[in-house]
Amino acid sequence: MAEPVVRIENVTLDFGQGAPALRNVSGLVEGGITGLVGPDGAGKTTLIRLMTGLLLPDEGRLSVLGFDTRSEAAAVQAAIGYMPQRFGLYEDLSVAENLDLYADLRGLPPAERAEVFERLLSFTDLKRFTGRLAGRLSGGMKQKLGLACALLTKPRLLLLDEPSVGVDPVSRRDLWAMVKELAGEGIGVLWSTAYLDEAEACDRVLLLNAGELLFSGPPGDLTQQVDGRVFRLTGVGQGRRAVLAEVLGGRGIVDGVIQGETIRLVVAGGAEEKDAAITEARSRAGEGAEVRPTPPRFEDAFIDMLGGGPGGRSQLAEASPMRAAGGDEAVIEARGLTKRFGDFTAADDISFSIPRGQIFGLLGPNGAGKSTTFKMLCGLLKPTSGEGRVAGFDLRRKSAEARNQLGYMAQKFSLYGDLSVDQNLAFFAGAYGLGGARRHERTALMKEVFALSPHAGMSAKDLPLGLKQRLALACAVMHDPAALFLDEPTSGVDPVTRREFWTHINGLVEKGVTVLVTTHFMDEAEYCDRIALIYRGRAIALGSPDELRASVASPERPDPTMEDAFIALIERSRLAEAA
Amino acid sequence: MWWTRLKALIVKELLALLRDPKARLILVGPPLVQLLVFSYAATLDVTNIDLVVLDRDAGAASRELVQRLEGAPDFRSVVPVAGEAALAAAIDRQEAIAAISIGPTFSRDIAAGVPAKVQVILDGRRSNASQIVAGYISRIVQGLGAEIAVSGGRAPPPVDVVARNWFNPNLIYQWFMVPNLVASIALLIGLIVTALSIARERELGTFDQLMVSPLRTHEILIGKVIPPMLVGSVHLTLYVLAAVLVFGIPLRGSLGLLYGSALFYLLSVAGLGLFISALAATQQQAILGAFLLLVPATLLSGFATPIENMPEWLQPVTIVNPLRYFLIIVRGVFLKDLPVAEIAAQTLPLALIAAATLTAAAWLFRRRLE
């Protein structure tokens, strides 16, 4: 057998803060595309930097293309191409100037440049943009340019650190196609990602979680472990959130998530156990529910491996009062929201309304206007025209009243890192005007529900990611808001924490809380009752996840995924615009 | 209700400041360094003077002069040199700041009652220090001349100037400098703490979180202004205590008036800081902005050099500088009992500056939201 591209032997690295970044990791990277898969903070970037020889392990060794990273780092670096997470593009230089600069840095002889640039520019489809400043490129084009720069000297191994972050599904497909082509030319590719669905497209996978290697091998081998144990529960429609909570309480249920109007279930292994679990699930789901087997996904197996999801009970929701159905009035409403920056229209006449107790998703590529719309609806941005209303209050005229009714959670858990858990809770309680007994009662509840008491004195910045997420949610719902605004709440978060988060959200929605969520994460889209697809500042499609999927179904693709729907709808809009 | 919100914000601001190790360093480091450097090292007094003497006379009078020079406390060394060349070399190599050349007829002229001459050569490269040294030397020479006149039975010089320094009789440098520092430390700390506060939240992403809470814009501004003012007054107090207890500087005026005017001074400083903070996108920009303001504000305040010495076109610029007014108040309260009317006259511009900067900051702050 040929020497593997990368050999990792018993590698441990401890940065001295909390748990070690990597613990006794051993594995191989072979030819083709290897996926380095794991949630944020799993140790992916650390492992890649170890492979480049920029970091050295405390224990163990790595050899890359036969060179030891400790003693022959220069040889390693000459033979690889490395694209860090935030690729070092010079935003004030044009595409061509960036290429020139990296050609200088990598010592590419001037005589060869014209030919290499020509090849890479047509490969990445950036030829039309050579004069454009790198800072003006979209997320996907930036990654393509980064890839071109990493490919200048024809590496034998290409290390890509989360190339698909901040890239919309269309560009993501392009990137994948390009990487497959490279792998076909015999270049070894390591693709790191927090998106578990990307793992399935790789030839081999290294699955990292909390610094430990959980699995190494072809993704099919892992998925196989849950073969025959994955089911879809249909016919649960409107009550699916309650049904999910109910079903997850049953014996033998490993995992359950909402997928549009259905529920995806993973049950425990063993023939008898399996049948019992399905029977119980069906009876818990109530009348009209049907259970059908469905092909397993990588994430199903990952959750199974971690010992299952967090269960379906939300103490938070149980402790929350049922919100009275206040008539038919929408809780969140956008009426012709428009925002112009100079002559650029970021959001163009966007209207929708979200009734009480629904989850509404704003979906769209980066820069399409979903953040602008979101910000106008929570009062962070003043619309150029149109109006936003929350709980019946006009955000412009009654902004303080409206803001009292909304809870907000940003992507990067905007907590005060230097303040302790208790101090963060106290601040948000105060900021929302909670005083006296009410303040005491709510903070105590939050600490109990989210199990924060053992960490009460810890600085928020030192909390593990999962606890940070809990604290951020606690701060957002402390004042029992009628509407929750979530900005990409779980991107990069590990699947168990993500399920825990959505269990709380689902529970709150059942109690009548209304949720607006932005995401470009297809899994989060599945939780929504309705979705508005925002593209080039306009809402190009509006409907339930199942409706959106159905709208793009074709004889060739009878059961499209959410991502397929996303891409097809955007293509359709592009064609319509061109016509 | 509004008080609950505001209190939460103020407590949070103070905690964020005190729990962040970097912020703690800013609160302790620069004030300590400033106190030590300005009150001990950056002295404007000229001491430890090195002198060379070319004595071509070697008579009784010239020996007496050299001895008096040697005896003066500010002169570290008085080195005899052999000739013009050696004298020039000593100045040239900066071994001495001044050289005294005594002519061959010095003692004889004095004995004869004829005006005697001494040449003093100074190093013009160090213009300020040279002038002061020239003053010292001429005082010694004049003293010698007067005594010789008296002992010789001749009339003393017709005019005898006697200088008395009021308020600071011994012209102790620290009596001048430490009250200045009381004013400048409040500027330094107040400006940096306020400038960083919003920029830090922008950088961390907590700013949006703040903006979607029911806290109103003016509450946020008040909540951002009060903590730096509290911190600034703590520093001011520590410096006042150091001035009185460590440096033994008399506090002749009213502390109450000092704090009363300090309130307006700190408000105007916080307004400036908030203005920077509303402009800056990152903490780095905020720090740079604060220093960009700090240096000219110190130089154009009368801190080290009197405003009257500045060119006339530059003097009006100092009108908008809060440090200028508060310096007068602090110095006045310390060294003389500055009357209430004068303090009020200096506090009024501070109040106007505070009103202007806070309004501008609030306007900019709101504008950035759109």
Q: Residue A263 has what pLDDT?
A: 87
CB B116 within 8 A of CB B141: no
Contacts of A483 in chain B (CB under 8 A): none
- Asked, for residue B156, whether it belongs to a domain, the answer is no
Based on the fold, state whether residues B27 and B134 are members of the same structural domain: no
Shared-domain flag, residues B23 and B97: no
- What's the residue count for chain B? 370
Chain B residues within an 8 Å CB radius of A406? 212
pLDDT of residue B10: 92
A379, A382, A416 member nearest B12 (Cβ): A416
Please check whether residue B7 lies inside any domain of the structure: no
Q: Among A16-20, A188-192, A524-528, B173-177, where is mean pLDDT lowest?
A: A16-20
User: d(Cα B269, Cα B23) in Å, to the nearest integer?
Assistant: 18
Indicate whether B255 and B330 sit together in one domain: yes
Q: Is the pLDDT of residue A166 over 80?
A: no
Report the share of chain A in percent with pLDDT over 70: 97
> For residue B111, is it within any domain?
yes
Mean pLDDT of A228-243: 83
pLDDT, mean of residues A348-364 = 90
B221 plus B179 within the same structural domain: yes
Residue B163 lies in a domain: no
Q: Chain B residues within 8 A (CB-CB) of chain A?
A: 1-2, 4-5, 7-9, 11-12, 15-16, 19-20, 23, 204-216, 369-370
Does residue B157 sit within a domain?
A: no
Number of domains composing chain B? 2
Angle at which helix A298-305 crosses helix A495-510, to 10 degrees, equals: 100
C-alpha distances (whole Å) from B296 to each of A82, A218, B131, B318 are 47, 66, 26, 10
Give domain status of residue B35, yes or no: yes
Could you tell me which residues come within 8 angstroms of residue A492 by beta carbon, excluding any fewer than 6 positions away? A39, A40, A165, A194
Most B CBs within 10 A among A418, A443, A484, A516, hence the mutation to make, goes to A418
pLDDT exceeds 80 at position B305: no
End-to-end, the C-alpha distance of chain B in Å comes to: 27
pLDDT at A73: 86
The CA distance from B363 to the nearest CA of chain A, in Å, is 15
Where residue B97 sits, what CATH number does that domain have? 3.40.1710.10
Q: Residue B161 domain-assigned? A: no
| Alpha-carbon gap, residue B143 to A409, rounded angstroms | 81
What does DSSP say about strands A33-37 and A204-209: parallel, antiparallel, or unpaired? parallel
pLDDT confidence of B369, banded at 50, 70, 90? low
Query: At residue A323, does pLDDT exceed 90?
Result: no
Looking at the fold, whether B360 and B235 belong to one and the same domain comes out as: yes
> Are A139 and A167 in contact, with CB atoms under 8 Å apart?
yes
Q: Pick the range with the lowest mean pLDDT from A305-314, B90-99, B265-274.
A: A305-314
Work out the pLDDT band at B278, boundaries 50, 70, 90: confident
Please, which contacts does A62-71 make with residues 24 or more away whose CB atoms are closer than 8 Å?
A62/A6, A62/A7, A62/A8, A62/A9, A62/A11, A63/A6, A63/A7, A64/A5, A64/A6, A64/A157, A65/A5, A65/A6, A65/A156, A65/A157, A66/A3
A residues 484..513 contacting B (CB < 8 A): 485
Residues 452-471 of A with CB under 8 A from B: 459
**Residue contact B19–A427, C-beta within 8 A:** no
Residues B190 and B234 in one domain: yes
Q: Considering only CB atoms, which chain A residues are within 8 Å of B208? A: 375, 380, 408, 410, 414
Per-residue pLDDT, B161: 67
The alpha-helical segments, DSSP class H, found in chain B are: 2-19, 21-36, 60-71, 84-92, 106-112, 127-151, 173-204, 206-212, 217-241, 255-279, 283-299, 322-335, 340-367
Q: Is the pLDDT of residue B307 over 70?
A: yes
Interface contact B11-A430, CB threshold 8 A? yes
pLDDT digits (tens, 9 = 90+) for A31-43: 889 999 888 778 8
- Is the model's pLDDT at B78 over the cut of 80? yes
Instruction: Tell me: pLDDT of B264 over 50.
Output: yes
Q: Say which of B2, B212, B370 has its CB closest to residue A403.
A: B212
Which of B119, B151, B183 finishes a domain?
B151
How confident is the model at residue B154, as a pLDDT?
Answer: 65
User: Which candidate, A317, A298, A296, places its Cα nearest to that of A244?
Assistant: A317
- In a shared domain, residues B99 and B187: no
Q: What is the mean pLDDT of chain B?
A: 84
Exposed / middle / buried, residue B50 (Cβ in 10 Å: 0-12, 13-18, 19+): middle
User: Which of B8, B208, B216 is the closest to A380 by Cβ?
Assistant: B208
Do residues A201 and A223 make contact, with C-beta atoms less than 8 angstroms apart? no
Interface contact A423-B7, CB threshold 8 A: no
CA distances (Å), origin A454, targets A175, A577, B103: 44, 56, 89
Asked if A18 reaches chain B (Cβ–Cβ under 8 Å), the answer is no
Residues B147 and B211 placed together within one structural domain of the fold: no
Computed over every residue of chain A, the mean pLDDT equals 85
Q: Residue B212 is nearest to which of A380, A419, A426, comparing CB atoms? A: A380
> B238 with B361, same domain?
yes
DSSP helix/strand/coil, A37: strand
- Evaluate whether A451 touches A374 at the Cβ level (below 8 Å): no
Residue A516 has a pLDDT of 94
pLDDT for B138 beyond 70: yes
Instruction: Please indicate, yes or no, if residue B1 is contained in any of the structural domains.
Output: no
> Would the CB atoms of A418 and B15 count as touching at under 8 Å?
yes
β-pairing, A344-354 vs A332-341, is antiparallel
Does pLDDT of B226 surpass 90? yes
Is B129 found in the same domain as B31? Answer: no
Query: Residue B352 has what pLDDT?
Result: 92
The domain boundary, picked from B86, B117, B151, lies at B151
Which pLDDT tens digit goes with each residue over A440-475? 999 999 998 888 888 888 888 888 777 888 899 999
Predicted TM-score of the model (pTM): 0.81
pLDDT digits (tens, 9 = 90+) for A332-353: 999 999 988 888 888 889 999 9
| Same-domain status, B265 and B227 | yes
Q: What is the pLDDT of residues A8-67, one digit of tens each?
A: 888 888 887 667 788 888 888 888 899 998 887 788 888 998 998 888 888 888 888 888
Q: Please report which confidence band the pLDDT of residue A1 belongs to, taking 50, 70 and 90 as the band edges.
A: very low
Summarize pLDDT for A367-394 with one digit per residue, the tens.
778 888 998 888 888 888 898 888 888 8
pLDDT at B239 over 80: yes
Q: Which chain A residues are Cβ-neighbours of B22 within 8 angstroms?
A: none
Residue A327 to residue A322: CA distance in whole angstroms: 15
Domain range for residue B362?
Answer: 18-42+169-367
Closest residue in B to A410 (Cα) is B209
Residues B344 and B216 in one domain: yes
Alpha helices in A185-329 (DSSP H): 196-199, 219-224, 240-248, 271-285, 298-305, 315-319
φ and ψ at residue A360, rounded to 5 degrees: -120, 130
Q: Respond yes or no on whether ipTM tops 0.90.
A: no
CB contacts, 8 Å: B215 with chain A: 431
pLDDT at residue A426 in the model: 92
A176 close contact with B: CB closer than 8 A: no
Is some CB atom of chain B closer than 8 A to the CB atom of A396? no
Instruction: Give the strand order in the sheet containing A22-29.
Output: A22-29, A6-13, A59-64, A67-68
pLDDT on residue B42 = 64
Nearest CA in chain A to B369: A381
The pLDDT value recorded for residue A359 is 93
Option in B12, B205, B370 nearest A410 (CB): B205
The yes-or-no verdict on residue A137 having pLDDT over 80 is: no
User: In A87-221, where do the E strands start and end?
Assistant: 157-160, 188-193, 204-209, 212-217
Which domains does chain A carry? 6-223 (3.40.50.300), 226-313 (3.30.70), 330-405+482-541 (3.40.50.300), 417-480 (no CATH)
CB contacts, 8 Å: B1 with chain A:
433, 435
Contact A414 B206 (CB under 8 A): yes
Which range among A153-162, A346-355, A363-372 shows the weakest confidence by mean pLDDT?
A: A363-372
Residue where a domain stops, chosen among B94, B124, B151: B151
Contact at CB, A416 and B210, closer than 8 angstroms = no
User: Which residues on chain A are in Cβ contact (under 8 Å) with B207?
Assistant: 414
Per-residue pLDDT at A87: 60
